[in-house]
Structure 1
Amino acid sequence: MPAITTERTIGKTKRAVLGGLIRYNGEKLGKQKYRRFAISLRDNDAIVGGIVGEVWMTVLFIQLFWIEERFRGKGHGTALMEKIEEEARRFGAVRSYLDTMSIQAPGFYRGCGYEEFGTLDGYPGGVTRHWFTKAL
């Protein structure tokens, strides 16, 4: 009989789950395009900001986005967003989505043309998680 276990290291289980999902999705959806990439903001050689994302099939998911505080409010964030969207379009993306916390940048994403499609309350301190999307 199968047993359920809790693991402190996730590598082996993550590889097995991901492999299973990839095989299943391949059976149902056929060959899929997938690409991960990052866009960085640099001050000399130092990375002072950047975005990490992935395009799966035709949708960009912006996973991580950060800019060092002294470089915020100077148009760098908008430029980074435009660059990752441009790169995603080159790979065939027609839509983008991301999530952010109420203490982070929901207003910034609205200003970049993103529309909110969901929220989740329940985080400490009254923080809310927001999901946004945009047609590319």
Structure 2
Amino acid sequence: MTAVLPDGIAIVEDAAPEFEAVAAIQRGLHEFNQATGGPYDRDPVTLLVQDAEGKTLGGLLGLTFWGWLFIDWLWLSQEVRAGGLGAELLRRAEAIAKERGCTNAYTDTFSFQAPGFWQKSGYVEFGRLDGMPAGHARVWFRKVL
């Protein structure tokens, strides 16, 4: 579906946009954010849990920017859960963030995942979106490092 506005600008619905279209949006927003908030100094934080054969059993993916650690993903396969690996991944990510000068961390999770893990790790809930998904909530946590 395409909507053409009076000035000739078109709004185009595209279920599979080309890479360059997506990159233009990302680039534009990043440029605006950095012009307003300062340089990102974005650096990834990637920690993997692997078995003896090198198979990935989980890990933590995040990044540091503007003095914050953002933890995007933290997942462990069932066979290595409950052994303290999640806490160790988090401890290591926070140490990397501190080395990079970060003073805070944040993440989001769902109420059916492990909000208690974050609370036990010193994170405090600062936001909640009930009904995301139905019967559950999306929950945001932060921690001063």
Give unpaired runs (5+ residues) of structure 1.
none
Equivalences for residues 103-114 of structure 1 within 5 A:
103-114=112-123
Q: 1:13 to 1:79 in 2, by over 3 A?
A: same
Pair 1:13 & 2:21 matched: yes
- Among 19, 24, 30, which residue is 2:32 paired with? 24
Which consecutive aligned stretches of 4+ in structure 1 deviate over 6 angstroms post-superposition?
none
- Paired with 2:25 and 2:103, the residues of 1 have a C-alpha distance of 27
Q: Is the 8 A contact 2:62 2:71 kept in 1?
A: yes
1:97 CA displacement: 0.4
Give unpaired runs (5+ residues) of structure 2.
1-7
Per the alignment, residue 39 of structure 1 pairs with 47
Per the alignment, residue 137 of structure 2 pairs with 128
- Among 2, 6, 11, which residue is 1:4 paired with? 11
Q: 1:30 to 1:121 in 2, by over 3 A?
A: closer
- Paired with 1:9 and 1:65, the residues of 2 have a C-alpha distance of 28
- Paired with 1:111 and 1:124, the residues of 2 have a C-alpha distance of 24
- Paired with 2:120 and 2:77, the residues of 1 have a C-alpha distance of 19
Which protein is bigger by CA-based radius of gyration?
2
1:125 CA displacement: 4.4
Per the alignment, residue 88 of structure 1 pairs with 97
Cα deviation 1:5-62 (Å, max 9, x = unaligned): 1112243332111111122123223333111121011111111110000111211110
Report the structure, 1 or 2, having the larger helix content.
1
Per the alignment, residue 119 of structure 1 pairs with 128
Amino acid at match of 2:78: E
Q: CA RMSD in A?
A: 1.4
Paired-residue identity, % = 34
Cα deviation 1:59-98 (Å, max 9, x = unaligned): 1110011001111111111000001111111112111000
Equivalences for residues 60-75 of structure 1 within 5 A:
60-75=69-84
Amino acid at match of 1:42: Q
